[in-house]
Amino acid sequence: MKGLSVSPDGTAVAQTGNLLGDLAQGLWDQGQRALPHGTCPYVGIGGHASFGGYGFFSRKAGLLLDTVQSAEVVLANGTLTTASATQNPDLFWALRGAGPSFGIVTAWTFATLAAPPVVIDFEINFGAFVPENLTAALISYQAFGSTAPREISMQAVLGPSNGGIYLSFDGDYYGSLDDFHSIFDPWVETLPSFERNVSATSMNWIDAQVAKDGDLSTSSPEPHDTFFAKSLLISEPSTNASLSAWVNYLFDHGISPATNWFVEIDMWGGAIADPPSTSTSFAHRDAIFGYQFYASSKNGAPPYPSSGFSFLNEMVATLNNGNLSAPAYPNYIDPTLSPNESHVAYYGTGFSRLSQIKSAFDPENLFSSNQSIPLSVPPSTTSSAPQETPTSQKNSSPHPTAVHRRFIEYIILFIFYIIFDSVNTFF
């Protein structure tokens, strides 16, 4: 299931056995085409596009799901059907934001873009920080990212290093080197200057992908990791006091933890916010920054230390005042959220419509997990999720027969990793 073809008009059909490395290289090889997507070559495109699909190019070109024109999907009754704006439009809406609850997508049709002719790949690395300087750098980054033009995309990365906390910035600019410096350099001057190293290199699209992703080849297995991850999407800048308290937590508890950990703070906004909030089931168009919190066992092998859960949970709580249902990115699955918490955090006000569509296309709840869309709206979320009526239910799934169910179960076992290989997406 690794078919990938690009038509003369730039439309690409990609089967969901493809991983992001396959997609990036294949599109480049077939006419120097591009899509916005994450940077981990081993992430499957099935789940990545189903739950969002954020990457450095997203501020310029949107999420990967925004480029989807149609989907080929196996339904709970065993039928293979197409979902698009004109065929099964409710299913099409649901697949772009909550796909695995509704079926098995076997192929996506994307509207690709001509790859940008020039990409400026840049990095800023610092020496050791004290809490006050780290807080000041994050406040400056937040102010810049809230107003930066969509041609620039960046992430801050923090983690423990040599008895302190390190900070680095890296990203891409889609334009000339001169234009990049005119936007970037004034902001850099607001950052702490000690032991600061800034680099910016002009390159083509595919070389920029390799610079961020490493080798795009997926021919050998990815190393195993035992980890716990959480996420947070914010639509308003954090207060200076909140950032200061968070940095103090990192210095107090993150210098010598029982895990290897890091935090990524990604700039959102730009083209991500262009589509109407109800155009897809992705719920967080208004996000301006996305946080990913990640901690793994020291050697990457089981077991994951029990203290690692409280360490990361408290890290997030310090930043979001303990709100377990705060907006979060469903491609960074947090298994500790309850069903109700995850439904609010991942799907927002579109949850009730998703539940209605679920009842139409999967009435036996075949595609289910602890955090999947249920058949009915839990009472605790009814008040926060306004009822919306699906525009079309003419293709509702009939009651599946035993043969259909067995057939679907085999398919699920065969390509389970494709749909759910979207955890930890933006590496």
Strand pairing report for 227-234 and 289-296: antiparallel
Q: What is the distance between the alpha carbons of residues 331 and 58, in angstroms, rounded to a whole number?
A: 15
pLDDT greater at residue 396 or residue 306: 306
Domain co-membership, 248 together with 283: yes
Domain hosting residue 78, numbered range: 4-114
- Residue 411: the pLDDT is 52
Domain co-membership, 104 together with 124: no
- Residue 415: the pLDDT is 46
Kindly state whether residue 393 falls inside one of the protein's structural domains: no
Domain co-membership, 278 together with 204: yes
| Number of domains the chain is built from | 2
- Using the structure block, give the residue that is written with the tokens 């209605």: 356
- Residue 397: the pLDDT is 40
Question: What integer is the mean pLDDT of 56-77?
Answer: 99
Is the pLDDT confidence value at 387 over 80?
Answer: no
Kindly state whether residue 109 falls inside one of the protein's structural domains: yes
Kindly state whether residue 196 falls inside one of the protein's structural domains: yes
- The DSSP symbol for 235 reads S
Selection from 143, 172, 130 nearest residue 155 by Cα: 172
CATH number of the structural domain spanning residue 129: 3.40.462.20
CATH number of the structural domain spanning residue 30: 3.30.465.10
What pairs with residue 109 in β-bridges?
13, 70
Quick check: bond before 303 cis, omega within 30? Answer: yes
User: Could you tell me the pLDDT band of residue 384, with boundaries at 50, 70 and 90?
Assistant: very low
Question: pLDDT, tens digit, for every residue of 22-34?
Answer: 999 999 999 999 9
- Residue 18: the pLDDT is 98
Question: pLDDT, tens digit, for every residue of 191-241?
Answer: 987 788 999 999 999 999 999 988 999 988 888 999 999 999 999 999 999
Question: pLDDT, tens digit, for every residue of 123-170?
Answer: 999 987 899 999 999 999 999 999 999 999 999 999 999 899 999 999
Domain co-membership, 69 together with 159: no
Ramachandran quadrant class, 320 (left: phi over 0; alpha: psi -120 to 50; beta: rest):
alpha
What pairs with residue 262 in β-bridges?
294
Contacts of 178 by beta carbon, 8 Å cutoff, 6+ apart? none
What's the burial of 376, exposed, middle or buried (CB within 10 Å: 0-12/13-18/19+)?
A: exposed
Domain co-membership, 135 together with 109: no
Distances, alpha carbon 125 to alpha carbons 6, 169, 195, 396, in Å: 39, 7, 8, 54
- Residue 35: the pLDDT is 99
Question: In 10 A of CB 403, how many CB atoms?
Answer: 9
